[in-house]
Amino acid sequence: MRHNMRRLMLLIVATALLFAGLATLATAQDDDEGDDPAEVERKVEVETDDDGVSMVFKREDGAGEDKVEMEFRVDDATFRTKYETENATEEMELKLSVVFGALAEFRDSDGDGAYDDGETIVSAWSLGEGGETELEGVPDLEELGGDRSIDWGTPEVRDVTADGVTGKTIVVAGTFDGAGAFLLRFHVFGDFVDFQGESLHPTSAKIDIVFRDYPFEEEDTLVALFMETESKAEHEFEDDHDEVEEDEEGVASSASLGDRNMSLVFTWKGNATVDGNDTTVHTTVLAEKTESEAEEGETEEKHEKAFALTYARGTNIVHDPEMFLSSADENGVETETSPAAGPMLVLLGVALLAVAARRRL
């Protein structure tokens, strides 16, 4: 009995050491060339052109490759994200898109600080061609903008450092007929860092939404950002997804890989900084729709949702959403390993614990 107990304790220690070693591999980059399965490489590739920016997060090892692709195009003002992973036996694909449709000035007739269906829209600016929607109950964002649309400039890329890690900040800015501006800033690092008060994952893109000098036409009106999300996956999580915190709103595109849940998550805080003050962001769900689609012999869930985010009136508004990939076990416990490492850690852990249980019996 004592001998069996000692063998069990040795196995537990060995398991802990193995997990520690794998966790270290998952957060480090191995620059050595070769095909050793133990080697892990993680990198972020950023490319820009006159029409937008693309960001590719890659993690490669001997077992397979994980890839998260993020892209923003100015023609339709749409931020598209796709996650792909594959190994010898499994593959998965998740998609999540965010359409920034229009900015609208409206009369808050009931004084609740939020845009409500039927409230009078005074002025609007289209952000791109992606504003057209098929969801019932959503204002025609292209019609709202009329001939007025944001004049997007060429994206700019800058180096940024956090916790000793060099990342990239990509700025995509548009102007209201040369007066005032609407900016999107994407911050990516490809590693675990704390940046501007947020803990970022290796596959996170922190996004700053910035309004400067919106051209209000009336007094006592508010401005709202109309946007729409679309997700595709084998399984869809609603707003109570574990990755959406109590002080946040958001959507997720999720699917299971073994006994783990992989999710692309887009969230935004319930507060923004307006002229240096912390103020509430009111989120109104305008419409939503879920339908099944058959694609390449498999059935996927497609979920569309339209929102209006209303901000306090001011000359300088900053709001901080985030897009990231999450990995959690079947109990909802998040792990800070990269996506490919998650299933590998679980499988190894199960195998070792099974050996320990068999020997104890």
pLDDT at 255: 79
pLDDT at 87: 61
Lowest model confidence (mean pLDDT) among 16-20, 191-195, 316-320, 329-333 = 16-20
Q: Which two structure tokens, joined as six digits, stand for 232?
A: 């595709």
Closest listed residue to residue 121, CA positions, set 209, 222, 45: 222
- The pTM for the full model equals 0.76
Q: What is the pLDDT of residues 18-40, one digit of tens each?
A: 333 333 323 334 433 334 444 66
- Alpha helices, DSSP H, located in the chain: 2-26, 141-145, 341-360
Q: What is the pLDDT of residues 65-116, one digit of tens each?
A: 788 999 999 999 999 999 987 665 667 789 999 999 899 999 999 999 999 9
Lowest model confidence (mean pLDDT) among 54-58, 102-106, 295-299, 356-360 = 356-360
Give mean pLDDT, residues 277-302.
Answer: 84
Q: What is the pLDDT of residues 222-280, one digit of tens each?
A: 999 999 999 987 544 344 445 556 667 888 888 777 676 788 899 999 999 999 999 99
Q: Which two structure tokens, joined as six digits, stand for 326?
A: 């999450």
Residue 321 and residue 100 in contact, taking contact as beta carbons nearer than 8 Å: no
Residues of the chain with pLDDT > 90: what percent?
A: 47
Provide the β-strand partners of residue 198: 195
Instruction: Reply yes or no on whether the pLDDT at 322 is more than 60.
Output: yes
Q: What is the pLDDT of residues 156-196, one digit of tens each?
A: 999 999 999 999 999 999 999 878 999 999 999 988 999 99
Give mean pLDDT, residues 306-316.
Answer: 97
Question: CB within 8 A of 253, min separation 6: which ones?
Answer: 94, 95, 96, 231, 232, 233, 236, 237, 263, 264, 303
Q: What is the pLDDT of residues 105-115, one digit of tens each?
A: 999 999 999 99
**Cα radius of gyration (the chain):** 23
Instruction: Reply yes or no on whether the pLDDT at 314 is more than 50.
Output: yes
Question: CB within 8 A of 100, min separation 6: which ones?
Answer: 77, 78, 79, 127, 128, 130, 184, 225, 227
Closest listed residue to residue 78, CA positions, set 8, 128, 146, 18: 128
Round the average pLDDT of the chain to a whole number and report it. 77
Instruction: Reply yes or no on whether the pLDDT at 315 is more than 90.
Output: yes
Question: CB within 8 A of 16, min separation 6: which ones?
Answer: none
Round to whole Å and give the CA distance between 222 and 116: 12
Q: What is the pLDDT of residues 109-136, one digit of tens each?
A: 999 999 998 899 999 998 987 555 666 6
Residue 130 and residue 109 in contact, taking contact as beta carbons nearer than 8 Å: no
What type of residue sits at position 101? G
Q: Which two structure tokens, joined as six digits, stand for 76?
A: 């339709």
